[in-house]
Amino acid sequence: MSKNFYITTTLPYANGTPHVGHTMEFIRADIIARYKRQLGDKVLFNTGMDEHGQKIAEKAEELGKSPQEYVDQIANEWKDFCKRINMSYDSFSRTTSSQHKKVAAKLWEKCLENGYIYKKDYQSKYCVGCELEKQDSDLQDGVCPDHPNRALELIDEENYFFAFSRFQKELLALYEKENHVVPEFRLNEIKGFVDAGLHDFSISRLKEKMPWGVPVPGDDEHVMYVWFDALANYISCLGWGTHDDTLFKSYWDDATTVQFCGKDNLRQQSAIWQGMLLAAGIKTTDTIFVEGHITSGGVKMSKSIGNVVDPSLYLDTYGTDAVRYYIARHLHNVQDADWTKESFHEAYMANLVNGIGNLTNRILQMASSYGVSLEGEPHIHLEQNLLESYDFNGEMNAIFKIIGEMDQFITDEAPFKKVKTDPDAAAEDVRYLLEKLWEVTMRIAPIMPETYGKMRVALEENKKPETPLFPRIELGA
């Protein structure tokens, strides 16, 4: 019986173009989605855009566009990007869609009905110099450290609050469930956070100050704070709370649910969002997988240092599968990882060009020139592998171990020599190699779908690819 599986990325905020961190999160979630489908599960894979909030409104104004025009354009750019990295998403969820807005409102009403939303005075300090609200912890001697000569403006307005503090016990109990947060050190981090005590937080803004958001149901003066609205997307894409919630029933209630996020999102996903689900009486997420950040040359990427990794460059030069390969194998599963053009190039040359590409050629060259082939496609029994526990690095190492063993087998058995003296023995070797190559082909499918396609064609036609799977490339291009 097939199982239902739901997986989602976080929704990137629509104020910029995709960077390498999004690329990693998207590709890894996609690998899991493809892996689950390959095992026969019914999968719903969600991604999308978070399109409300002040920064979007400001950015649009800067460009002389309406917010909607602006986010429409950004959404198209992101969809193109998803195509380039071969994202097999089933749902591209935009928080400005009418379905999303309806569901977000419904979620709000449900939380309100259950007594977890209330109205309260909200006071904050606003630095006109920074054009930002400031917390007491941001201030030095009661003034903004960057603009000590400007008086802080006091904001005093009535806002809606979410009774987050009431979920401390339930959240801590939730964290005892196996694999609720992976890896374990992130689980401990969030436990520590919740254990230290929770504060209620504001979840609305005055519409007159910030109109670009989902209206608060039954109150024309407020819009939802962007976090509340954005998190709702994980269930709005399934039609929770609408007249047709069949998807929600299949892919949330009756499914294993998995959310991917970067470490900067740990709190939002594993505490705030889970609290919101609890407040609305909805099943909590089964697993939240938390990734590290990508550094470049050992330091945080920043525009001023000029070490920002542009994924497009790599996609153009090395191809989509090379990027997917590098992300799966050479960036640490859960720790911060370094991405440099040297290490990328090295990994590409050593493992894709000289490894899998070269191996495919040598096997199929022998097969076609000796006239050896398999009778039909061998039945490869796919089993759960290390991807089951999000061990991308481990699964890749396991696959490349097989590749190494095949290269060694060719050297040891030397079918290219045997063919002159004992053709039958050589044919047997080659058939063994073809079977193994099928196995590798099936196993790389979720990780490198294009390469999978090319290798299948080569195996079916029993001849080496006309153009190399991975061409040699000079460093520095």
Q: Scanning residues 210 to 249, which ones bind RNA (CB under 7 A)? A: 225-227, 230
Task: Please select the residue that binds RNA; options are 83, 221, 332, 457, rule is CB under 7 A.
Answer: 332
Task: Please select the residue that binds RNA; options are 93, 296, 351, 373, rule is CB under 7 A.
Answer: 351
Q: Which is nearer to RNA, 315 or 396 (CB)?
A: 396
Provide CB contacts within 8 A for 306, sequence distance 6+: none
In whole angstroms, how close is the CB of 104 to RNA at the nearest point? 13
Distance CA 34, CA 24 (A): 15
In whole angstroms, how close is the CB of 96 to RNA at the nearest point? 14
Q: Which is nearer to RNA, 350 or 477 (CB)?
A: 350
Which of positions 140-159 make contact with RNA (CB under 7 A)? 159
Q: Which is nearer to RNA, 245 or 407 (CB)?
A: 407
Environment class of 2 (CB within 10 Å of its CB; exposed 0-12, middle 13-18, buried 19+): exposed
Stretch that binds RNA, among 81-89, 239-247, 262-270, 318-326 (CB under 7 A): 262-270
Angstrom distances, CA of residue 50 to CA of 3, 35, 191, 375, 420: 29, 27, 27, 51, 64
In whole angstroms, how close is the CB of 235 to RNA at the nearest point? 16
Angstrom distances, CA of residue 463 to CA of 356, 361, 410, 454: 15, 8, 17, 11
Residue whose C-alpha is closest to residue 381's, from 435, 433, 430: 435
Query: Does 179 interact with RNA (rule: CB under 7 A)?
Result: no
In whole angstroms, how close is the CB of 357 to RNA at the nearest point? 2
Task: Please select the residue that binds RNA; options are 37, 42, 55, 79, rule is CB under 7 A.
Answer: 55
What is the phi/psi pair of residue 420, to 5°? Answer: -80, -30
Distance CA 146, CA 153 (A): 15
Which of positions 67-96 make contact with RNA (CB under 7 A)? none
Query: Does 198 interact with RNA (rule: CB under 7 A)?
Result: yes
User: Both tokens of residue 330?
Assistant: 């050479």
Distance CA 463, CA 434 (A): 11
Query: Does 187 interact with RNA (rule: CB under 7 A)?
Result: no
Element (H, E) at 33: helix 20-38
Q: Which is nearer to RNA, 382 or 414 (CB)?
A: 414
In whole angstroms, how close is the CB of 317 to RNA at the nearest point? 15
Query: Does 468 interact with RNA (rule: CB under 7 A)?
Result: yes
Stretch that binds RNA, among 72-80, 91-99, 103-111, 408-416 (CB under 7 A): 408-416
Residue whose C-alpha is closest to residue 331's, from 18, 29, 84, 21: 21
Stretch that binds RNA, among 89-97, 106-114, 141-149, 345-353 (CB under 7 A): 345-353
Query: Does 167 interact with RNA (rule: CB under 7 A)?
Result: no
In whole angstroms, how close is the CB of 40 to RNA at the nearest point? 29
Tokens 């991807």 belong to residue: 387
In whole angstroms, how close is the CB of 300 to RNA at the nearest point? 7
Tokens 């979620």 belong to residue: 107
In whole angstroms, how close is the CB of 248 to RNA at the nearest point? 22
Environment class of 89 (CB within 10 Å of its CB; exposed 0-12, middle 13-18, buried 19+): buried
In whole angstroms, how close is the CB of 299 to RNA at the nearest point? 9
Task: Give the pairing type, strands 256-262 and 287-291.
Answer: parallel
Provide CB contacts within 8 A for 123, sequence distance 6+: 154, 155, 156
Report CA torsion sign: 193, 196, 200, 204: negative
Stretch that binds RNA, among 41-49, 104-112, 244-252, 260-268 (CB under 7 A): 260-268
User: Both tokens of residue 79?
Assistant: 């969809």
Query: Does 431 interact with RNA (rule: CB under 7 A)?
Result: no
Query: Does 341 interact with RNA (rule: CB under 7 A)?
Result: no
Query: Does 476 interact with RNA (rule: CB under 7 A)?
Result: no
Which of positions 5-34 make contact with RNA (CB under 7 A)? 10, 13
Stretch that binds RNA, among 75-83, 93-101, 317-325, 352-360 (CB under 7 A): 352-360
Query: Does 259 interact with RNA (rule: CB under 7 A)?
Result: no
In whole angstroms, how close is the CB of 408 to RNA at the nearest point? 4
Query: Does 432 interact with RNA (rule: CB under 7 A)?
Result: no
Query: Does 300 interact with RNA (rule: CB under 7 A)?
Result: yes
Query: Does 54 interact with RNA (rule: CB under 7 A)?
Result: yes
Distance CA 29, CA 291 (A): 11
Task: Please select the residue that binds RNA; options are 241, 311, 319, 357, rule is CB under 7 A.
Answer: 357
Q: How many residues bind RNA (CB under 7 A)?
A: 76
Task: Please select the residue that binds RNA; options are 72, 245, 286, 336, rule is CB under 7 A.
Answer: 336
Q: Are 411 and 281 in contact (CB under 8 A)?
A: no
Q: Are 51 and 75 in contact (CB under 8 A)?
A: yes
Q: Any bridge partners for residue 219, and if so which?
A: 216
Residue whose C-alpha is closest to residue 430's, from 358, 374, 355: 374
Query: Does 274 interact with RNA (rule: CB under 7 A)?
Result: no
Q: Which is nearer to RNA, 24 or 43 (CB)?
A: 24
